Structure 1
Amino acid sequence: MQDLTQWTAREAAAAIRDGLVTATDLVEASLDRIAAREGDIRAWAQIDPGLVLDAAARADRARAEGRPLGPLHGVPVGLKDVIDTADYPTEHGSPAHRGHRPETDAAAAAALRAAGAIILGKTVTCELATHIPGSTRNPADPGRTPGGSSSGSAAAVADRHVPLALGTQTLGSVIRPAAFCGVYGFKPSFGAIPRPGVLEQSGSLDTVGVFARSIEDLALIGDVLIGYDPRDGATRPRSRSTLMATVEADWTLPPTFALVRSDRWSDLAPEQREAIDELVGELGARVTEIAFDFAFEEGIAAAKLIREVEFARAFGSLADRTPDLIHPELRAVVERGRAASAVAYLDAKETRERLERLARAIFLDHGTILTPAALGPAPVGLASTGDPHFCSLWTFLGTPAVSLPLFEADGLPMAVQLVGARDDDARLLRTARLLVRSLAAAE
């Protein structure tokens, strides 16, 4: 039989619907892969084979009985261990939360189950979804970081443990790990995916994102997750998500791009810079370089201040109660957040509004921003998760972003990042698919 772990989620779901394989087949293939590879990759914080095999058996009975099947019926999915699940502990990568057992699923977990997905387990996260590394290794080179803080989710998809996994991004925790591990990563617009039951680090920035091995899979799971939840004030009433329909629609006009280099272009690894320059050369007149460098320094500084203030609010009492269980660097973040003035915090919010207006003008004129997803390949060593510089501004502005694993240097993945206008997620994914397909056709 074909190696089922090589299938995309869309292929797997179709095969189950058509009776070519069972959900049990898929889950067993995932568990076998994890058994063979987890000792090297360390992507999983919680996994219970008996639990997921029971879920797969229920999925198979549902199909046999002719019940309606959801778009992800029988497909195994990993969840970053900051997303509540009623059947697994949710420990947030923190000794202070060891053994924490939520009573209910997070909104995102519930949406996945309603769509028929099988939650295979909880993936490793950095401590409290920050920059303090967990145990996960990069499948491309176990001596290099997988990125963070959604380390386990990116590695699990890259190493074919699951076709899909959820992460979160407050600065760069989806786009950067996707780039380092060589998978597709999608951070939707702020407020697109409801966050009840997701660890709150910074309510003004936290965004649920996804990892996959195809753009179509990003659209497939995005349609399941995106929606309105009155418990999350960042969401809003919206019509049913139609990412997949938009992604696959014909588009007669080729997309255009604005190249944004940032104020740290000289810090790019030479191979990353060369890859971007080569891509820009291939796209030719469809790319216009624009001056937006000033926004990085100003915007990232404001984003970090907002994050520190809101981090202090979220975790200050925890740090006070259990200081020995919180990493010293995170206790320092709490203290910086507490020391920041209300004026500085409000100024940072005002900076976001001003930069959002400037960004909207760019999207109106050029459609999509093209920029690196990271400074280069994954750095050597496991003490750092890498620099989120090229991700943080777009998270701050609430815009959707997608990491495309188009490049490679000495066997190590590198990626380009596409950024779209806020709430225009479908167009961004369609542009990404067109770009990937056009480059593949030109080879």
Structure 2
Amino acid sequence: MRPNEMTASSAAEAIRRGELTSEQLVAGCLERIAEVEARVGAWTWLDPDHALAQARAADARQRAGAALGALHGIPVGIKDIFDTADMPTEDGTVLHAGRRPAADATAVALLRAAGAVIMGKTVTAELAVYAPGKTTNPHDPRRTPGGSSSGSAAAVAANMVPLAIGTQTNGSVLRPASYCGVHGFKPSHGSISRHGVLKQSLALDHVGVFARSVDDVALIARELLVHDGKDPDVPPHTSLALDDWRFAGGRPPRIAFVRTPQWPQASGATQDAFASLAAQWSDFAHEVELPREFGSAVQWHRTIMETDLASSFAAEYASGKDRLSSALREMIERGQRHLAVDYSRALDGVAALRLALARLFSEWDAVLTPATQGVAPLGLESTGSPMFCTIWTLCGVPAISLPMLRGEDGMPLGAQLVAARGDDANLLRIAKWLEQRREGARP
């Protein structure tokens, strides 16, 4: 196995044992990038010399006997909406071309503190919304990688880096994870600081991660779930404790198979794959119908997101609306027209949905549902629909996309697992339990 193909957990352990150096790992990743970047287009800024210098410094610290962080020497891709003091942050728009932040975003600073090598900046859709960048799907360059965290998902899927970070305001972590066939994890709202990250909507914005295993998701997420007073939504005490196991006595988790109101929009292959999965897991997974009010979730999300976009991107609209994509410009203009009473009603609706989910999760440990309508669509003019992620983003609950299914043409298809708000650690335990149970089986 080439170093760049190792999981982050196995690479970190090999580095600690002296069987691998950070320089060897980063060099292997750079070699892979040189092989496939022209086709995949995952990076918007990458300086091999800078990456190797960080790796050599990490190796020198280890030789000197310094304490090593959990991510010591591990390269991580950073979505280009996170501020980086030593790299440009251009947010996927010509309006921010050449922008050089003075300081790291909190998430980037935490990664550095954990010993990570900040590999470079990955491609984002325009201002992290819908207009795609240059990235293609590593499994089929004719298809979208999803968005808006396009480059982060593609870089992990193409074995360019073992880990990457992104953001989700609707489906921007889970959707590209599903399309690219990697693990994508969006923790509970407010779990990871968004300080120094491009703001769309404080009510909806989440920081998420991409990896190639559940263990790797936990490895990086642990380092990011840290209190930061610069983000008003991060609670004083936040952590990802995986030491205990919820399922005492060996009982399996209780899984609710939820179609959601968007089920008719799923492809036939997606519906068949999930029906087969639910049948295989019938001893612990049972179909549950969401209450009727969830049918309004997509509209409430749209009202909140568009209104907040109009506020967050007011300066960009005022100074350069003719250089924004037509899709983003129209979203901002709709947001400008939304009434305050509609915004308030949407927020009240979210509160009602959260109560309904609290009742659901009092009976079930997790929800199983598609991450996307189907496999990555053909064509690069769109990043695909986020509709199967909307409810869970709106309600701020943790969700993970697991690459355990295949759809049309053998393309990846993510199974989305969702848990109660704040139950992030248990979600990852269940995800790992399900993958171990399903090891080697694909419908």
Q: TM-score with structure 2 length normalisation?
A: 0.97
- 1:279 Cα offset (Å): 0.7
Q: Which letter does structure 2 place at the counterpart of 1:307?
A: M
Choose the corresponding residue for 1:331, options 329, 342, 354.
Answer: 329
What are the Cα deviations for residues 200-248 of structure 1, in whole angstroms up to 9, with x where unaligned? 01111000000000000000101000121111111111154324x3579
Residue 309 of structure 2 corresponds to residue 311 of structure 1: yes
Q: Are 2:84 and 2:103, in contact at CA under 8 Å, matched by a contact in 1?
A: yes
What are the Cα deviations for residues 344-391 of structure 1, in whole angstroms up to 9, with x where unaligned? 111110000000000011111111011001011110100111111110
- 1:316 Cα offset (Å): 1.4
Choose the corresponding residue for 1:369, options 367, 371, 375.
Answer: 367
Q: Which letter does structure 2 place at the counterpart of 1:370?
A: L
Residue 21 of structure 2 corresponds to residue 22 of structure 1: yes
**1:145 match:** 144
Task: Output the CA distance in 2 between the equivalents of 1:251 and 1:72.
Answer: 33
Structure 2 SS opposite 1:402? strand
Q: Which letter does structure 2 place at the counterpart of 1:81?
A: D
Choose the corresponding residue for 2:391, options 375, 390, 393.
Answer: 393
- 1:324 Cα offset (Å): 2.4
Mark the runs of 5 or more structure 1 residues left unpaired by the alignment.
Answer: none
Report runs of 4+ in structure 1 exceeding 4 Å deviation. 246-251
Tell me how many residue pairs correspond in the alignment: 441
Cα gap change, 1:239 to 1:302, in 2 (>3 Å): closer
Q: Which letter does structure 2 place at the counterpart of 1:23?
A: S
**1:175 match:** 174
Cα gap change, 1:274 to 1:251, in 2 (>3 Å): farther
Task: Output the CA distance in 2 between the equivalents of 1:13 and 1:442.
Answer: 28
Task: Output the CA distance in 2 between the equivalents of 1:248 and 1:291.
Answer: 25
Q: Which letter does structure 2 place at the counterpart of 1:63?
A: Q
- Within a 5 Å distance, the mapping from 1:20-59 to structure 2 comes to 20-59=19-58
- Within a 5 Å distance, the mapping from 1:38-187 to structure 2 comes to 38-187=37-186
Mark the runs of 5 or more structure 2 residues left unpaired by the alignment.
Answer: none
- Within a 5 Å distance, the mapping from 1:294-443 to structure 2 comes to 294-409=292-407, 410-440=409-439
Q: Are 2:262 and 2:388, in contact at CA under 8 Å, matched by a contact in 1?
A: no
What are the Cα deviations for residues 141-200 of structure 1, in whole angstroms up to 9, with x where unaligned? 110000000000000000000000001000000001000000000000000000100000
Q: Which letter does structure 1 place at the counterpart of 2:347?
A: K
Q: TM-score with structure 1 length normalisation?
A: 0.97
Task: Output the CA distance in 2 between the equivalents of 1:269 and 1:241.
Answer: 35
Task: Output the CA distance in 2 between the equivalents of 1:352 and 1:145.
Answer: 31
- 1:271 Cα offset (Å): 1.4
Task: Output the CA distance in 2 between the equivalents of 1:71 and 1:417.
Answer: 27
Return 321-330 or 420-429, whichever deviates more.
321-330
Return 304-313 or 325-334, whichever deviates more.
325-334
Cα gap change, 1:334 to 1:74, in 2 (>3 Å): same
Task: Output the CA distance in 1 between the equivalents of 2:307 and 2:295.
Answer: 19
Task: Output the CA distance in 2 between the equivalents of 1:374 and 1:49.
Answer: 35
Q: Are 2:79 and 2:165, in contact at CA under 8 Å, matched by a contact in 1?
A: yes
Q: Percent identity?
A: 46
What are the Cα deviations for residues 242-261 of structure 1, in whole angstroms up to 9, with x where unaligned? 24x35799872101111111
Q: Are 1:165 and 1:211, in contact at CA under 8 Å, matched by a contact in 2?
A: yes
Q: Which letter does structure 1 place at the counterpart of 2:212?
A: R
**1:255 match:** 253
- 1:441 Cα offset (Å): 6.8
- 1:327 Cα offset (Å): 1.4
Structure 2 SS opposite 1:179? helix
Q: Are 1:262 and 1:293, in contact at CA under 8 Å, matched by a contact in 2?
A: no
- 1:50 Cα offset (Å): 1.0
Cα gap change, 1:251 to 1:146, in 2 (>3 Å): farther
Return 256-265 or 385-394, whichever deviates more.
256-265
Structure 2 SS opposite 1:112? helix
Q: Are 2:291 and 2:356, in contact at CA under 8 Å, matched by a contact in 1?
A: no
Task: Output the CA distance in 1 between the equivalents of 2:346 and 2:362.
Answer: 25
